[in-house]
Amino acid sequence: AQTVTQSQPEMSVQEAETVTLSCTYDTSENNYYLFWYKQPPSRQMILVIRQEAYKQQNATENRFSVNFQKAAKSFSLKISDSQLGDTAMYFCAFTYNNDMRFGAGTRLTVKP
Amino acid sequence: GAVVSQHPSRVICKSGTSVKIECRSLDFQATTMFWYRQFPKQSLMLMATSNEGSKATYEQGVEKDKFLINHASLTLSTLTVTSAHPEDSSFYICSASTGLPIPETQYFGPGTRLLVL
């Protein structure tokens, strides 16, 4: 069974600074997909970034980028120039054959 | 693009009654739809996966006779909580997957808060 681990229950960062959220996963599959979703207080799940396991190049979406280390089964999210609107729960997710599994989440607070 | 709606956003019902929650993909056809449950300050727990025209596949421990799922079209899935009890109170979230441009990407609805009295 696939498992996803987020070892940082809570993190905080000053506005305009950079923060990295950690995620590790366990799988015996080779071609899978990884995601970071953001859940603000409204509880709407928002797709932040996604990575195909067969691509070596790390995905980037504006201020958000990932460090994907396939051999280490690590998938961290870096948020640059943090903004107050980035305050939310962040969930790392792994999916294979449409079976998506989430980590426990990291609550990020951006401080002014 | 890739917008998913859910209705109602919140519902309060009496114990023993049934409640139906609708999930619609507004601007795409969803090959697969998913239903999750989320307890306060916890992660999402997958309840079931459904494909249009097929019976839903339920996760272990989820009662299929209690949580009825109907995926009648490529844009609509419904979850009916039958004979609801207070322990069914929770936040229910649906998601939909198109298979394109990147397979297995799920787009989520805004969720439904259910309170059973």
Residue B9's CB is within 10 A of a number of other CB atoms, namely 12
- Average pLDDT on A22-28 reads 96
**B109, pLDDT greater than 80:** yes
Which are the contacts of A41, defined by CB distance < 8 A and separation ≥ 6? Answer: A88
Chain A residues within an 8 Å CB radius of B97 = 98
Which chain B residue's Cα is nearest to A10? B41
Which are the contacts of A85, defined by CB distance < 8 A and separation ≥ 6? Answer: A40, A110
Task: Give me the residues of B, 40-59, that contact A with CB < 8 A.
Answer: 42-44, 46, 49
Q: In one letter, which amino acid is A30? A: N
A37 and chain B in contact, CB less than 8 A: yes
B107 and chain A in contact, CB less than 8 A: yes
| A29-66 per-position pLDDT tens digit | 999 999 999 999 999 999 999 999 999 899 999 999 99
Asked whether A60 and A110 are in contact (CB, 8 A), the reply is no
> If you search the block for the tokens 């366990």, which residue do you land on?
A26
Contact between B97 and A98 using a beta-carbon 8 Å cutoff: yes
> Does residue A18 or residue B105 have the better pLDDT?
A18
Q: Which of B46, B104, B108 sits opposite A44 (nearest CB)?
A: B108
Distance CA B97, CA B107 (A): 6
